[in-house]
Chains A and B, each alone.
Chain A
């Protein structure tokens, strides 16, 4: 039956899925979905740098929090780079995203090849950030994921009216006094948080799907925001659970891949339901 370890992993992925669904709802509506791709890929050099620093300082290189903080800093830098490149006015945001995600990822790969040469051997843990390996999730990681989910849910609910205004009529909202830049920054911050939190379980290549799939599915099924929001969060959680279970049952399936396949199945189903 379900072992304790599997339960931990499943609950952790569920929490992650809920957080991603909640935040993804607004990320999708605001058109920021692919920035999550840039942030996820950009996080890799940060994770590697944190591991290298940790090894140099003598702390446990596999401890999650410093790795994630490193990833968050790098992800934020990546975001800044995307904005800076787009601001030149000569290349559009999609090109900026592609350049940033590829070059930051490349820096991470360079870093990984350096770590590989080190006796600490932390590399085995680090490359799991690329495709995800939820099976190594420990109880404290699952608790952290749960806290994250709570925080994201609470934030999105608290910011609901502002986020709704931001997504549907930003100009009018600005006229009404809403601070667009701050709300946008808050949304980007939440997206970054979810991306980074999703790295160990789902991996950076597929973390964007975590944000987009439940939200897109919910979008197909709901015409009103509150319904879409709740559906997105719920679908995210369910995809996380089913994906984690699938991945636990098949040793060779990276967790990220399993969760994405489940999410895609839901999405395709929603397309067919919509037609009918």
Chain B
């Protein structure tokens, strides 16, 4: 039990929090046909994170979150602006903006020397759940011991904080967001602040992306954002099921993926663990495939 708590508890918790938060937010992306905005924001936050880190030297916490938020809002604004200004087809505007931001982030990593200190690209690309340890844990009692709990990795607190904030915001804005998803024009006509809601969603996305990227890496955040929501969309038509199911599936796939990656191979005697974030992403994709098949079977 102590080994589990010390090695697996924190990453598992982090993964589930990331999964639930992203799974919840992802429904808005899927319903509003903006799934690639999730992709864009997770890439676009990189320069913000690097600058936030560079300016303050702190690897996670408020400055980084702030940097990411600014980057995300800038990127979202740039995409909208570009779309309006030009008539570029398809997702070209999105692609141009997020690749530009990501490339800038990569160069900033080098220019600011952030890479040599703490932040590195591998963490961005692969996540680093395996490094989330809880050495202070000693048996089940630690779960109720405040001092022990306080020594959990920072990423867990950030995820918990962001997760709670997002859940609260979504709950508070339940009806307006629902209207925004299905008839934005009507929402605007009855006086709902559509643009503000838009910005709020983008901010929540950025926060979730930053919090989750420490755990699973930026590209796999996309998996958690879109796959649970897409899977729910394939099997339900009801808004409440879509949203809550997305959060639930997100947490579930994160937990299962984590278990399959490390603890299960270890229990089966294999010496090698597999990248946990990757396992989660693969499972998420399989889940969507299963949902697609299930949906077809139900309709047949």
Minimum Cβ distance to chain A for residue B24 (Å):
16
Q: Across the two chains, which residue of chain B brings its CB closest to A219?
A: B88
User: How many residue pairs at the A-B interface have CB separations less than 8 Å?
Assistant: 203
Say if the beta carbon of B202 comes within 8 Å of chain A.
no
Asked whether A88 and B88 contact (CB < 8 A) given A106-B278, A110-B278, A254-B106, the answer is: no
A213 to chain B: which residues have CB within 8 Å?
Answer: 96, 99
B88 near A107 with CB under 8 A, answer no
Type the 1/0 row for A183-212, where 1 means its CB is closer than 8 Å to any CB of B. Answer: 000000000000000000000011011001
The verdict on A110 contacting B274 (CB below 8 Å), with A33-B91, A209-B103 known, is yes
CB <8 Å contact, A105 and B96: no
Whole-angstrom distance between the Cβ of A89 and the nearest chain B Cβ: 10
Asked whether any CB of chain A lies closer than 8 Å to the CB of B219, the reply is yes
Give the complex CA separation of A32 and B219 in angstroms: 21
The yes or no answer to A160 lying at the interface (CB within 8 A) is: no
Surface stretch bound by A, among B29-37, B155-163, B167-175, B192-200: B29-37
Hey, which chain B residues are within 8 Å of A31, CB to CB? 89-90
Interface-central residue, A29, A107, A109, A253, by most chain B CB under 10 Å? A109
**If A88-B234, A206-B102 touch, does A98 touch B92 (CB 8 Å cutoff)?**
no
Q: Count chain A residues whose beta carbon lies closer than 8 angstroms to a beta carbon of B.
A: 62
How would residues 28 to 47 of chain A score, 1 for a CB under 8 Å from any chain B CB and 0 otherwise? 11111110010001000000
A76-116: which residues lie under 8 A (CB-CB) from chain B?
Answer: 81, 84-85, 88, 90-92, 94-114
Q: How far is the CA of A267 from the CA of B103 in the complex (A)?
A: 15
Contact, CB under 8 Å: B106 / A102? no
Asked if residues B234 and A209 are in contact (CB atoms below 8 Å), the reply is: no
How far does the Cβ of A71 sit from chain B's closest Cβ, in whole Å? 17
A257 to B108, CA, bound (A): 10
Asked if A267 and B96 make an inter-chain contact with CB atoms under 8 angstroms apart, the answer reads yes
Q: In chain A, residues 220-265, which have Cβ atoms closer than 8 Å to a Cβ of chain B?
A: 220, 250, 252-254, 256-258, 260-261, 264
> Which residue of chain B has its CB nearest to the CB of A274?
B86
State A111–B286 Cα separation when bound (angstroms): 16
- Per DSSP, chain B at the interface is helix
- Cα A220 to Cα B96 in complex, Å, equals 14
**Within the assembled complex, what's the spacing in Å between the Cα atoms of A219 and B90?**
14
- Interface: A175 (CB within 8 A): no
Interface string of A161-194 (1 = CB under 8 A from B): 0000000000000000000000000000000000
Q: A32-B90, A103-B227, A216-B88 are in contact. Are A92 and B33 (CB under 8 A)?
A: yes
Q: How far is the CA of A252 from the CA of B227 in the complex (A)?
A: 34
In the complex, the 9 A-B pairs of residues with the closest C-beta atoms, listed nearest first:
A106-B281, A103-B285, A252-B110, A109-B278, A102-B223, A31-B90, A113-B275, A209-B99, A110-B278
Instruction: Beyond the given A85-B230, A97-B36, A102-B220, please list 19 additional residue pairs across the A-B interface where CB-CB is below 8 A.
Output: A30-B89, A32-B90, A98-B38, A98-B226, A102-B39, A102-B281, A108-B278, A109-B126, A111-B278, A205-B43, A205-B102, A206-B102, A208-B99, A220-B86, A253-B106, A253-B107, A256-B106, A261-B100, A264-B99
